[in-house]
Amino acid sequence: MDRADVVTLRNGFTGPHELLRTSDGAVLFLRRWDTPRAHGVSVLIFHGITAHSGPYGSILGQALADGGYPVYGLDLRGHGLSDGVRGDYPSAERYAADLSEAVEFVKARSPKLVLLGHSLGVLSALRAQQVRPEDTDGLILLSAGKRIRTGVRDRPTAGQALEAIIGIGILRGTPLITYTRREGMVGLDDPLFNFRYSARFYTATFGVGALQVARMFRQGTVDSPYLRPSGRVRIPVLFGVGDQDEYFPVESVRQFCDEFGADEKEFFVIPRAKHAVFPPDGWAPLLAWLGEKF
């Protein structure tokens, strides 16, 4: 899908949404799930890799809105209905600026704001909190840990390995690196999903060099500086993972929680949930946490 197609689809979108014009002139798309009985606390969802905000309505957004929480879902630059080269990010600085401007935009419309990241979106939520701590009142971090389940991704073919080398060493801004894993892939029939990424996208969103990203993937680890706050996080943090997550074992997410420096943190396991597929009744602990903390 090219940028002209994205603009056409965005112009034709009739559901609740906001358009954010960034400081460099791009348009970022924020989907909304409204509620008639708002508690004064909004939730901003950051999506996982390959995805966009759309699928999060049935996953979680509508459940939160039904619970009385206005919900926004950001399409990262180059994803969903936002501007940008598909599967690329110009720089780590632009990534941080986009997140900061999205948080500022939503916080201006709500007394309190909780950031919710799912999978790769956990990095986005943590980076957003780091650049806008004064506008972040809570964090929900779902389906992410520091160690990936063994064998979850297929070994690259010789051609894919060559593309990755070219992408890392020469064409850093060209989406050459195919994203695949053995099971749990969703969105294959959704034209707004991305399955090819540039080396620059990974370096921007992980906050490390391309060779370190490649080493993490080979080792099955995630070692982004965004996962390690420089000081203690003073706001409530909730960690969650499905008991059948194909990507991150429960013990990996629990270890992430245990090592995370926060004054208030809790951990819950979602029964019958996978990495990106959750039962409708699985969010009761999350809603109870929101009610208790806010």
- 17-21 and 27-33 strand pairing: antiparallel
DSSP symbols for 5-36: HHHHHHHT--SSEEEEE-TTS-EEEEEEE--S
pLDDT at 87 (0 to 100): 95
Residue 106 is encoded by which pair of tokens?
A: 């939503």
| Tens-digit pLDDT string for the chain (294 aa) | 788 899 999 999 999 999 999 999 999 999 999 998 878 999 999 999 999 999 999 999 999 999 999 999 999 999 999 999 999 999 999 999 999 999 999 999 999 999 999 999 999 999 999 999 999 999 999 999 999 998 776 655 656 655 666 666 677 888 888 888 878 889 999 999 999 999 899 999 999 988 888 888 888 899 999 999 888 999 999 999 999 999 999 999 999 999 999 999 999 999 999 999 999 899 999 999 999 999
- Closest to 266 in 3D by CA, of 291, 240, 244: 240
- 233-242 and 196-197 strand pairing: unpaired
pLDDT at 274 (0 to 100): 96
Residue 121 is encoded by which pair of tokens?
A: 């979106």
For residue 235, what are the contacts with CB-CB under 8 A and spacing of at least 6? 129, 136, 137, 138, 139, 262, 263, 264
Q: Alpha-carbon distance 170 to 116, whole Å? A: 35
Domain range 3-150+224-293, CATH architecture: 3-Layer(aba) Sandwich (3.40)
pLDDT at 210 (0 to 100): 82
Q: Alpha-carbon distance 21 to 23, whole Å? A: 7
- Pair 43, 70: CB distance under 8 Å: yes
Domain borders along the chain are 3-150+224-293, 158-216
Element (H, E) at 233: strand 233-242
- 262-270 and 196-197 strand pairing: unpaired
- Pair 45, 116: CB distance under 8 Å: yes
Q: Alpha-carbon distance 33 to 65, whole Å? A: 6
Residue 51, CA distances (Å) to 118, 144, 192, 292 in order:
10, 15, 8, 30
Residue 150 CB neighbours (<10 A) = 8
pLDDT at 31 (0 to 100): 98
Q: Which amino acid is at 62?
A: Q
Distance, CA of 33 to chain centre? 17
Phi, psi of 191 (to 5 degrees): -65, -15
Residue 72 is encoded by which pair of tokens?
A: 């926004």
Residue 282 CB neighbours (<10 A) = 20
Q: Alpha-carbon distance 188 to 190, whole Å? A: 6
